[in-house]
Structure 1
């Protein structure tokens, strides 16, 4: 913000001869145009700050839950957007955040798709983007992992050491 030029108040003495008096201890004054300019600068900066704070609030934490429409490859986000994949879904295509709202992307598991025998619990940080393959059960967000001789054993060790979330 640029500086404001301040002036000392000058008083006019309406006595004979109309002399102008100067009081060195008088109040500081600023020109109205200077005041208006600085006020406008301050207001513009405050609006930018408010907008930045709102973006931080909007993106801070939270999840955007995505669900698939049958086997069509069409996915609906929790924030109201739609995305289409030719093969697989968002997790298999490396998407960890919603392309619209920026929140952490969580895939809603359809009831008929859920296989309790192969359901993995979230990692210790609460991430649900977990999977098992090649003898390793791992979180795709924070790289937490459990290794074993087989994928089934890694899966079982993961769930044994990661309690199911309370619902």
Structure 2
């Protein structure tokens, strides 16, 4: 078992016993350990809220996430891809 597989397994074992904040941190770490080509697609709604593939929402006041310098999802750690609604 590789070090990455061991880390993923350990995080999976911890998940039921940790707080919501720590689960978010664990999700980011798992995302960073995931396939480097994996992406998290963000799509915007008419109110300007961007919804993520990983189940979160983010408000951008002006422009798009990419126009504001976001390259990675701040929730899961995967590369950010912008989708259209």
- Give TM-score scaled by structure 2 length: 0.60
Structure 1 ranges of 4+ moved more than 6 A: none
Q: For 2:84, what is the secondary structure of its paired residue?
A: coil
8 A contact 1:73–1:88 mirrored in 2:
no
C-alpha contact (below 8 Å) 1:59/1:101 kept by paired residues: no
Q: 1:73 to 1:63 in 2, by over 3 A?
A: same
1:94-142 Cα shifts (integer Å, max 9, x gaps): 00100011001000023xxxxxxxxxxxxxxxxxxxxxxxxxxxxxxxx
1:67 aligns with 2:43: yes
Aligned to 1:86: 61
Please provide the CA RMSD for this pair.
Answer: 2.2
- Structure 1 unaligned segments of length 5 or more: list them: 1-48, 111-167
Higher radius of gyration, 1 or 2: 1
What is the aligned length?
Answer: 60
Q: Distance in 2 between matches of 1:100 and 1:56?
A: 9
What TM-score comes out, normalization by structure 1 length?
Answer: 0.32
Change (3 A) 1:89 1:53: same
Structure 2: 5+ residue stretches without partners: 10-29
In structure 2, the partner of 1:99 is 74
Greater relative contact order (Cα < 8 A, sep 6+): 2
